[in-house]
Structure 1
């Protein structure tokens, strides 16, 4: 808009000047070498402008003739570059489409037309990767290292090739070089953090994370979460060797991520051992209210070592009151009530969940039947139902179910990969194994039925049955369905007393039955 206004102003000034000169034509006389030329000022100006235009045109024509070889060379180079870029585009599209033959043809054309272009090397590297030729791919990436604009890309490609080849040391070196060049680069920072976590160097991993945050390569919320995970991992690693430092790391992790279950559990354990009961209870209750988890309930119940089962039950009641209707709160109360032998309370807590029980609920009901009533048959019936019941949550990362949380995935090495959810395709989880052990202990604690005296005519048969060897089957990881035993107490032979001569022979038995002589 401004340019249009300026153009209009300039045209107005030119028109005004032309009109002003036309109103004042004047006269001009030129005498040179006997020639005399008389004209007006406007005509003279017009002739001067025409003469200047002719001179400019002749100069441009002369310059074009002089520079025509260079212009032709530039035109040819431009056409060559256009064809080369077209070959690169066709090659990348062919690789994306999975056309290996077209990718190779485009790679050859690009190498012929643009041999020194960095993207030509990229096309050659990707084409070699597509064909499975690792040596050619690595050679192409090394050529890309010479160009500053493709150096990071080359490091990325070489790092991926090293990982696929199993050369973890080379992959780590390449990732660290890329992270030093570009601290905000996500893939390089992630690779360095994963490698250092695998070595147990959590301080070095935090240092890399700090550089990424300083370079604004990560948002603040993600930074706080990842730093909390690294601090929790370090606290877990040194919990027994350096409890003081572990407690410091765990408390910082809780400050950054109050709902991080492992951090709160470690902090609660260490604070409880140090006698800081109120602080530990506050941290655990806050974390449990945000994320109800059985590990938090377990730590909260055993905050004070040596407490009686009744005291642990009182403490768990306080914790469960924060989220009273949650699944984990009812299970924690049931555990504490069973330990304290408060069987009516345990049954009242579990009864609403027994309508559609999960595996853990089935095993808890089996433990309740064995502990409260000594009913092994019902206990085994509930254990059999656990095989068909819905699964319970567990720590899972990339399809791997683990008994304990870990900072990185055991498959991909990804930081903070573990989640607490129901694992697909798993019949038994580590938590279910723990419940099964409790059930086995409860069944083993059931007292055997009282012995009954057999009639005299069956002592030999009963003694033979009693002396028959029994085979005890080892329990499976998940309780197998077992047919319920009859409720009546089995009849077993009473073993003879030390001074008992044993069962009498028939003739002795008849003699003993005769009345004594008076």
Structure 2
């Protein structure tokens, strides 16, 4: 647009000049070799302009003829370069899509049309093709060559870093990331890996320095930077707590200031304050963290803040902590532990049962078992609570990338990721819990599904023992079937097996459930019964048609009722 305006301005000025000459008539006389040439001023101006234009055109023609070889060569060179860039672009797209055949062909075409020293992307495409074809050694050599080139140094280091990650060589990966971070601190992947390396080496100040560089280059937002800084400061305080207490205390207090609800920071800050006998400030730190995230570590440190306190004083402190977060399972458990230590078993039992109602989990049942053992010593009740604890959901723990730990750590031991640990319930027992629930549901539904069985007249049997409850009858499928080939001889059609209190009875027309004492007699003296009933049972070749389950006495809760189901499955009874 500016050029058009400039051209119009020039034309306008020329027009003004010729108009000015036309308004002022005059003659121009030129004497040459005794001859005088007289022309008007307008004709002279036109002649001068024509001569100048002719000279310019002649000069342009001569220049075009003189530079024609270079122009022709440049045309073909530009055309060749355009074809090379087109092949390079197609090859990069093919490499990204995983089409190594097309990428290899386009790479060869691009290398023929464009010199690799003129276009660094050809080297990248060549390395990508090597990776697609599985020639990783050649790819690493090409990345190493890129790392020596100042223009492609970061690209080569990135390729070497990814290859080291693929091979699982974390040390080599961190080495390449550190070199890249020195050259370009704004690279996120290099900075994160370098921070992990500094943490592994215990160089907390170096990790904090890199984090500050990330924050200054706006790689991470302010909230994320504060979170990571609090993690690093907490790890630094834990590492230097016994060797350099002054630095550890400063780091712990700064970490707690950045994130008051961060449990590890609150714990190390409170420990530092308690060490200097600043109980009031340390208690405030723990109370603030407890209101945000109830944690058993916070409760334990809060209750045992003063070493000279009696058990009753600790119980009072636990109740105060419970008042800050009411209707919470962790608060109830804290009071229950303190009450158990103080000997107030009724309060401990009440709080443990309250925690179970709010959140039934393993630790609550174990605490209830400890209370029962300390108060009554009832082994049966203790075993019952322990059995429930085994089947209850797990207590929360520090979990990172599937790894469970009792203590917090700044990075994940699996992936090395910063701030990976979370306080939550592990999920590795999810499948076991589902299977236990399914088996428990089968046991609960068994009496409801049991069909009434016809009773035939039988010989009178002795009265059942007083300690043995009435039997539970579970009907199985009436369809006849052949014995399983893997069953032992004791489980053939002509026998009455007894496994974990299960007696199999059968008959052609009806099923007679024997009395409990008769079942016990058959279990203890099966040989005599087999001889006496051998003639009557010679023609029976069908499997048991009913199973009579005799449960264990209720005062022995240590026996798992699932064992009966598992035993029947193991022997192929259903």
Give your verdict on TM over 0.5: yes
- Deviation string 1:292-345 (CA, Å, 9 cap, x unpaired) is 322212211211224333222211222333332444333323333333344444
Contact 2:111/2:122 (<8 A) preserved: yes
- 1:102-501 map, 5 Å: 102-114=102-114, 115-116=116-117, 117-213=119-215, 217-349=219-351, 350-351=353-354, 354=357, 357-371=360-374, 376-387=379-390, 389-426=392-429, 485-486=554-555
Q: Which deviates further from its counterpart, 217-226 or 5-14?
A: 5-14
Q: Residues of 2 paired with 1:393 and 1:267: CA distance?
A: 22
- RMSD of the alignment, in Å? 3.4
| Residue aligning to 1:513 | none
| Residue aligning to 1:454 | none
Structure 1's 14 and 243: CA in aligned 2 closer, same or farther, altered over 3 A? same
Q: Residues of 2 paired with 1:310 and 1:10: CA distance?
A: 103
Q: Residues of 2 paired with 1:484 and 1:248: CA distance?
A: 62
Q: Which deviates further from its counterpart, 276-285 or 362-371?
A: 362-371
Structure 1's 288 and 8: CA in aligned 2 closer, same or farther, altered over 3 A? farther
- Ranked by relative contact order (alpha carbons within 8 Å, sequence separation 6 or more), the top structure is 1
Q: Residues of 2 paired with 1:174 and 1:352: CA distance?
A: 51
Contact 2:328/2:358 (<8 A) preserved: no
Structure 1's 403 and 20: CA in aligned 2 closer, same or farther, altered over 3 A? same
| Residue aligning to 2:497 | none
Contact 1:381/1:483 (<8 A) preserved: no
Structure 1's 206 and 315: CA in aligned 2 closer, same or farther, altered over 3 A? same
| TM, length-normalised to structure 2 | 0.67
Contact 1:381/1:484 (<8 A) preserved: no
Q: CA deviation at 1:486?
A: 1.3
- Deviation string 1:445-482 (CA, Å, 9 cap, x unpaired) is xxxxxxxxxxxxxxxxxxxxxxxxxxxxxxxxxxxxx9
- Deviation string 1:472-514 (CA, Å, 9 cap, x unpaired) is xxxxxxxxxx9785189xxxxxxxxxxxxxxxxxxxxxxxxxx
Q: Residues of 2 paired with 1:235 and 1:259: CA distance?
A: 17
Q: CA deviation at 1:409?
A: 0.9
- Deviation string 1:210-252 (CA, Å, 9 cap, x unpaired) is 4545555544443333232222212223434454543343223
- 1:23-34 map, 5 Å: 23-33=23-33
| TM, length-normalised to structure 1 | 0.74
| Residue aligning to 1:450 | none
Q: Residues of 2 paired with 1:314 and 1:368: CA distance?
A: 19
Consecutive unaligned residues of structure 2, counting only runs of 5 or more, are 432-550, 558-574
- Deviation string 1:402-442 (CA, Å, 9 cap, x unpaired) is 211111111111111112233333359xxxxxxxxxxxxxx
The 3-state SS of whatever aligns with 1:275 is coil
Q: CA deviation at 1:164?
A: 3.4
- Deviation string 1:257-294 (CA, Å, 9 cap, x unpaired) is 32221121122223323322112112212222233322
Contact 1:184/1:213 (<8 A) preserved: no
| Residue aligning to 1:470 | none
Contact 1:377/1:485 (<8 A) preserved: no
Q: Residues of 2 paired with 1:363 and 1:334: CA distance?
A: 12
- Deviation string 1:114-168 (CA, Å, 9 cap, x unpaired) is 3222111111122222223222112211222343232111112122323434544
Q: CA deviation at 1:194?
A: 1.0
- Deviation string 1:377-413 (CA, Å, 9 cap, x unpaired) is 4554454444554554321112212211111111111
